[in-house]
Amino acid sequence: MSVSYVPVQWNPNKWKYDAVLIALVVVYIIVFLRLGTPAADFTRPVDGAILRIRAFGSCAFLMLTVILAIGPLARLDKRFAPILYNRRHFGVMTTAVAFTHAMYVLGWYFAYAPIPRLEALLVSNTSFGQFLGFPIEALGIAALLILSVLAATSHDFWLSFLSAPVWKSLHLMIYPAYVFVVAHVALGYFQDAKSPVFALIFTGGALTVAGLHLASWFKERRFSPSTEKWVKACKPSEIPDKRAVIVTISQQERVAIFRTGNSFSAVSNTCAHQGGPLGEGKIVYGHVTCPWHGFSYKARNGCSPAPFTEKIPTYNMSLENGVLFIDPKANQPGTDVEPIIVEGVVHG
């Protein structure tokens, strides 16, 4: 265990995660193709190739919607955390589905173009100065390029090589990609669609992503950042046993309050390995364990068990009127802090 790059091997959970994803994608595509033909507008017959274009395109949109919903869901309810841990696999698979959609578009609409297909796509519509009729192809290409970069840099090597802050900033580009996808669909398919079904799914998905992010933001706002006084965290009963609640101290710092039975300790939310979110992990064999690569620390002092030497900052806490408060000033990494003991606490 070291702060240098350490390859992470595949495990049964990763295989199961990917197997379930692949199965869901295959089922969705098959169902879409089966139901798409009778649902098509027979006044303008829809070719099988167009159905495949729509099947893979809508699948990519729904997958991207779920990816962006997983983060706030995990912050709102820890039961969604297991879906979060291998989210990068989800992103790579989404890129593959979106790429398949693009290949079908090139193969159907530009198969007989006198110039290269990609060039034909780029010059087929250049009406950038208008809203209706805007080149949706450019929006789709922009989204696909971003997704491709994120998929190519999803491996842990890039997380270590670029450093956690740079890697995370790069992968926040998924939000502009989603905006491009939303605009791509809204300015394209909606202008030609007759059925309201996909319109409802599309609108509902986009609003769900926005609503979940707002809900998680409001939840974190309950823990008002302060640099002058201790920060109100939560009631002990709000923390599940062997889990944590993440408290926002400032724009740069979050603290994870872990519970083991009736004992409560606060440590930095950032793993010393590659910046993983410790508060999304759990207590395993008595140690705080990072959900990314399994690095572990003692909750009371932030030290890795021997013979490892990694350390993370700890925080002082107090219990007032049945509520936990955190001193926003971090202790030096490895500082021992006596846990807060709360007798008779029951998770609500």
CB 244 within 8 A of CB 281: yes
Are 206 and 246 found together in one domain? no
CA neighbor of 224 nearest in space, from 330, 331, 328 = 328
Distance CA 184, CA 152 (A): 23
pLDDT digits (tens, 9 = 90+) for 148-171: 999 999 887 887 788 777 888 898
pLDDT at 302: 94
In a domain, 226, yes or no: no
- Position 321 scores a pLDDT of 87
pLDDT category of residue 2 using cuts at 50, 70 and 90 = very low
Shared domain check, 276 and 251: yes
Same domain, 171 and 299: no
For residue 155, tell me if it sits in a domain. yes
Q: How confident is the model at residue 42 (pLDDT cuts 50, 70, 90)?
A: very low
Biggest CA–CA distance in the chain, Å, is 78
pLDDT at 7: 52
301 and 157 part of one domain? no
Residue 36's pLDDT band, with cuts at 50, 70 and 90, is: low
Does residue 334 sit in the same domain as residue 216?
no
Judge whether 323 lies within some domain.
yes
Q: Is residue 7 part of a domain?
A: no
Residue range(s) defining the domain that contains residue 305: 231-341
Number of domains comprising the chain: 2
How much is the average pLDDT of 48-71?
Answer: 90
Q: If you average pLDDT over residues 129-143, what whole number do you get?
A: 84
- Can you give the CATH number for the domain in which 307 is found? 2.102.10.10
The more confidently predicted of residues 19 and 35 is 19
Question: Is residue 333 located within the same domain as residue 196?
Answer: no
Question: Within this chain, do residues 211 and 236 fall inside the same structural domain, yes or no?
Answer: no
Residue 194's pLDDT band (cuts 50, 70, 90): low
pTM: 0.67
Q: Is residue 1 part of a domain?
A: no
